[in-house]
Amino acid sequence: MITTGTARSGRRSGGIGILGTGSCLPSHVVTNDDVGAPAGVDDEWIRNKTGIRSRRRAKPDEATSDLAVVAGRAALEAAGISASDLSLIIVATSTPDSPQPPTACVVADGLGAGAGAAAFDVNAVCSGFLFALNTAERILDGSDSPYALVIGADIYSRILNPADRRTAILFGDGAGAVVLGPARPDRGLVAGRLASFGADRDLIEVPGGGSRIPATAETLAAGLQYFTMNGRGVRDFVNTTVVPAIADFVREAGHDLDDIAHFVPHQANGRMLEDVSAALGIPAARTRVTYEEFGNTGSASVPVTLDHAVRGGALRDGDLVLLAGFGGGMAMGLSLLTWQGSHPSHSTPHA
């Protein structure tokens, strides 16, 4: 049951929709053999457990903001606007360039957004993009400002323990972005819901490096700077909390799951997504995935997958699209939108 969060149903005049999408995946491909050897597993084991065949890695001198700028620029191009038109830039990330300043401010400067746009980060781990998307839509809906850029970007390769087979095999680096702006009648965001479950926060965490456990030589030696995950606990959370919440959310928005033309979930693990789609009764043909090629890219996974679906010509004007993010916190974000297919989308290769 959802005990916190917001839901919105029905249409309103002058709605907010996605006008353009973009993504950025580093050019360096990392195979299952590459990540499996340090973790003591092989390609077959990884594919059987996760469905992942490869993932991407950022260059040593690249930061999260570098990927975010490329993805953001591609989304702006697809939407047909410039960075100077933006009133709001939100970057969803749990791997910021640094604790301060906000990575979004670095991105705004990199895009040439100027001094007028508000820029801030959102950290809801793998749900972050949906938290940022719903937040941006609410801000735009209550203001005269027309455009926002929402980016999900993560470089998880910097916080993984290569010997931990539960995590090292799953994650890739990347960024995905959308431009929000005025939608045509009967197009755009229909409903959104955000929820957090703090009692389960220890299922996914990076214990060290914050104000409770500051980074020291001792914490580094103990590996407290690494991402950790209770895989079984996360799977239970998804099955018992996320799946029924998605079904309730769609119903409360006035739709049936059969109405969903495209389900774009967080790309946590291929086997998990197969179970989620089956439990919801959404056929594989309507579930958009990128995990085989890119792995789990954290907060980037939903916008990256959405961009690839649009760029591949899968989405049509008027299609009902369900976006679902879930992850550390524990947290969950959902959005339902009627697709506005007026702009092409571009994904930018990153050398």
Q: Which residues does the annotation mark as catalytic? A: 126, 266, 296
| Angle value at C-alpha 300, between 294 and 302, nearest 5 degrees | 90
**Pairwise CA distance, residues 243 & 140, whole Å:** 29
Go through the chain and tell me how many residues it has.
351
Token pair in block for residue 156: 């998880």
Token pair in block for residue 86: 């933006």
- Contact in structure between 303 and 152 (CB atoms under 8 Å): yes
Q: Closest by alpha carbon to 255, among 161, 313, 314, 336?
A: 336
Strand arrangement, sheet containing 86-92: 118-122, 86-92, 147-155, 173-182, 16-26, 346-350
Q: Closest by alpha carbon to 84, among 147, 137, 150, 143?
A: 147
**3-state DSSP: the chain helix, strand, coil percent, rounded to 5?**
40, 25, 35
Token pair in block for residue 257: 């799951």
- Contact in structure between 299 and 123 (CB atoms under 8 Å): no
Helix axes 128-141, 301-311, angle to 10 degrees: 80
Sign of CA dihedral 307, 312, 317, 320: negative
Burial of residue 139 (CB within 10 Å: 0-12, 13-18, 19+) is: middle
Placement of tokens 């580094």 in the chain: 220
